């Protein structure tokens, strides 16, 4: 999962395997969540979002799961590829407030 | 495609200098944001704007100011740069409502 500090959590997976990246969010009132991907030296790139009235949403090779009971968000990447290596972070948005971002997880895809 | 551009990718300034970081978006978004990103700390909101000439402080506004004279442009100003402002600065924009934020490529600022 994500945490605040000097060192990012890391996840290493073999190419072709599935990846699961976790995020614990803080505000039970948050009703909108986003996953971003950030490659080295680039700005964050939107992957997928989910609203609090859903518990699962699928995109191309990615699935986001939302568990409001334990305030947990996960991103599943199917058949992980070398181009998926990046920092992934979640963001939550409470009503009438701005997005709050997690610190991220470094995903490394091994050949 | 939404495009958010930032005036510089890399910038080196000296302590005490006044620094301007410019951001332009081409999708007529109402909201624009400035963040700084430091290793392990995630994105921290400096200032945001929800309309022309409107600005709101974020979580870490000290040492910064902003200007939004036109809808498409949001400037971040460091009145007197200090070494602890060495960071990656990211601009983003979004339309009103719960939407993703679209980010620029970032400006890596080094203050010597």
Residues A28-77 pLDDT 10s:
999 999 999 999 989 999 999 999 999 999 999 999 999 999 999 999 99
Report CA torsion sign: A104, A109, B3, B9. positive
pLDDT of residue B2: 65
Cβ atoms A1, A74 nearer than 8 A: no
Q: Is A96 left (phi over 0), alpha (psi -120 to 50) or beta?
A: left
Residues of chain A contacting residue B40, judged by C-beta atoms under 8 Å apart: 4-8, 103
Q: How far apart are CA A94 and CA A101, in angstroms?
A: 12
Q: What is the mean pLDDT of chain A?
A: 91
Residues 6+ apart with CB under 8 A from B103: A36, A43, A44, A45, B4, B90, B91, B92
The whole-angstrom distance between B103's CA and the closest CA on chain A is: 6
pLDDT of residue A1: 42
- What integer is the mean pLDDT of A15-28? 95
Burial class (CB in 10 A: 0-12, 13-18, 19+), A91: buried
Whether B103 sits inside 8 A of A43 (CB atoms) is yes
Whether A43 sits inside 8 A of B104 (CB atoms) is yes
Residues of chain A contacting residue B102, judged by C-beta atoms under 8 Å apart: 46
State how far the alpha carbon of A85 is from the alpha carbons of A40, A80, B106, in Å. Answer: 9, 9, 19
Nearest CA in chain B to A51: B98
pLDDT of residue A7: 59
Residues of chain B contacting residue A31, judged by C-beta atoms under 8 Å apart: 98
State how far the alpha carbon of B6 is from the alpha carbons of A1, A4, B18, B92, in Å. Answer: 31, 27, 17, 10
Q: How far apart are CA A107 and CA A86, in angstroms?
A: 5
Q: Which two tokens stand for residue B26?
A: 């081409």
Q: What is the mean pLDDT of chain B?
A: 94
Name the residue among A42, A26, A43, A12 with its Cα closest to residue A91: A26
Inform me whether the pLDDT recorded for A4 exceeds 60.
no
Inform me whether the pLDDT recorded for A6 exceeds 50.
no
pLDDT digits (tens, 9 = 90+) for B4-16: 999 999 999 999 9
Cβ atoms A78, A60 nearer than 8 A: no
Q: Does A57 touch chain B (CB under 8 A)?
A: no
Q: How far apart are CA A56 and CA A58, in angstroms?
A: 7
Q: Does A106 touch chain B (CB under 8 A)?
A: no
Higher-pLDDT residue of B55, A7: B55
Considering only CB atoms, A42 lies closest to which of B4, B45, B105, namely B105
Residues of chain A contacting residue B96, judged by C-beta atoms under 8 Å apart: none
Q: How far apart are CA A59 and CA A78, in angstroms?
A: 10
Taking the CB of residue A108, how many other CB atoms lie within 10 A of it?
13
Name the residue among B85, B89, B71, B78 with its Cα closest to residue B7: B89
Enumerate the β-bridge partners of residue A12.
A108
């Amino acid at each position: 999962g994500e945490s605040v500090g000097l060192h990012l959590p890391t996840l290493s997976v073999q190419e072709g395997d599935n990846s699961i990246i976790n995020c614990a969010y803080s505000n039970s009132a948050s009703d909108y969540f986003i996953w971003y991907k950030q490659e080295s030296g680039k700005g964050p790139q939107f992957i997928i979002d989910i609203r609090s009235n859903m518990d699962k949403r699928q995109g191309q090779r990615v699935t986001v799961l939302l568990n409001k009971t334990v305030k947990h968000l996960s991103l599943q990447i199917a058949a992980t590829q070398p181009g998926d290596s990046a920092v992934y972070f979640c963001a939550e948005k409470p009503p009438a407030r701005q997005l709050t971002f997690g610190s991220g997880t470094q995903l490394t895809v091994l050949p | 495609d939404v495009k958010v551009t930032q005036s510089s990718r890399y910038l080196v300034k000296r302590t005490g200098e006044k620094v301007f970081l410019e951001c332009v978006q081409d999708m007529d978004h109402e909201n624009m944001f400035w963040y700084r990103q430091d290793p392990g700390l995630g994105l921290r909101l400096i200032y945001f704007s929800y309309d022309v000439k409107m600005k709101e402080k974020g979580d870490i506004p000290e040492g910064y100011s902003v200007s939004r004279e036109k809808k498409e442009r949001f400037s971040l100003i460091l009145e007197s740069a200090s070494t602890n402002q060495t960071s990656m600065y990211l601009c983003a924009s979004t339309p009103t409502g719960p939407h993703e934020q679209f980010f620029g490529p970032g400006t890596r600022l080094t203050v010597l």
